[in-house]
Structure 1
């Protein structure tokens, strides 16, 4: 149990609430239970029976909870707000009270409480609801348009967040993770980093993750490589830097998220680290990756990068014979490999386009549609697509 405000407002867990008789010196007069496990026992005990789930609507109960706390404190009482663990539901209620009475933002309220109870960890759904609580003027109700709008999209928003968490895959538990999608919503981004315990993020190029998505207070470090699309060798040459960054973070008990919208690039970085840190072959590193990502589609680009990394003894340079041969092989083309759907070669793409054109001509001609114009459009699209077809 921890005092949050003037030794009159406390946060605790279920055990603390059930053992108040052992702590008479605290002078607790009122109890607010934010869980169904401790039903109300009288007018000085309010129970809000919600579960600790991102999908729960705690927001609608916050005005009543704040009123209960304020009335008790105004009468000279002392209040214990608790849930089962004392880290999520109860914290959300106390933060809401601080926001309403002290006009704190949700971020400042959470920071204020965390300084007094370091283990707090409200779930994403409740953190989002604190922001909406402020937006409604601390008066969420079934007639408040802001509340109604939030309620309408709540499930979809929470599902989106939980999908982002699910798609953040552990390669080395509590050390190294991989993802091809990072939330573009600041609340989701910060909650994901907190929920997953991330301390470092590594991306393949600047701008892939905006620094604005990462709260300075989180202490999470964002580092990007300079793997330019216009120069296909830059990812390969950046791998020693990437491995060093991951190694330093992990050796200091950090957790690293390797993130790239091009999954194969993030996979190359992860496998390169496995190869250099464990002294294993490309195929062995790929097996580790595929155990975590069974549906990963290795492109030729992916495999070639690992082969070159091994051939260069984990220290590829632009003047290494293997790298020179690779650059000569690909010539002036730009490998993409950022999507498995682009893993075809130019001949396959052209053949596919020709087949589509033939079928379309037959169908469209029968409906009086200008098939010639359609074919010209398809040819133009194919020409543009050819510029980005992967060599991998």
Structure 2
């Protein structure tokens, strides 16, 4: 009698392909009560009686979003194990999709990274190999600290936004207005090293946490979160930025590229190109949303920190203190 591929340890967790469902004696012996199917294809429902059954309809392709299903698949697996039975996770071949869901569960259960969980699962089934896109999603999931609700995570939201941008770029179109992520409306608690102001009217346009550092890959980590940046290299003529809310009237017009004007004095301060833009340092940035160094002044933190003086402070505020952060 063929045995099931059991994940090592005390958990009654099994992984396999479609043919595993026909090993009825082995399933009965393992006391399997829950079956998680991770595939998109017609299923013979008779194979799933009398099991508690859950289906996640995804294809085994790099750009499939399996990450959004991790909380649900983790909960389903845990419910089966809590009930004292065994849980089988399968896809077509028991190699990529099913392995990804088992790895996600082990990451959350044991607080381990994707590589450790993958090595663990391979002890049960040596052929497992999540596709490259799924591995990147597992890495992001780990850096997000395996939350129970991924959709509320800024890292996940940013990742979805980047996918939308890539899709729009592939189609030669600007992203739909409602899908543009204006970063200052989502992230507001990061420390800023400096502020960028319009050289003509001194209106604050951005702070350093919204800079896209295109010459140091490590600045943008695998969870699409930005580490503190100290600005572009000296030979760059532009500051590349995330979309910010003051750009909304221009960016929501549906144009592939255009100019950015200061919202106060309407001076041309930069430009954008959803398909990407090459910096003067020869690096290519996608999407390209930039402010020109020749039109912008960089003000170090010490020069504008007085604006954020706590209530009750006695020191006088600078003349431009009315430009608060929410105006970005």
User: Which interval holds the TM-score relative to the shorter structure?
Assistant: 0.3 to 0.5
User: Larger % of helix: which?
Assistant: 1
Q: Which has the higher contact order (CA 8 A, sep 6+)?
A: 2
Q: What is the TM-score normalised by the length of structure 1? A: 0.38
Q: What is the TM-score normalised by the length of structure 2? A: 0.45
User: Larger % of strand: which?
Assistant: 2
Q: Who wins on radius of gyration, i.e. which is larger?
A: 1
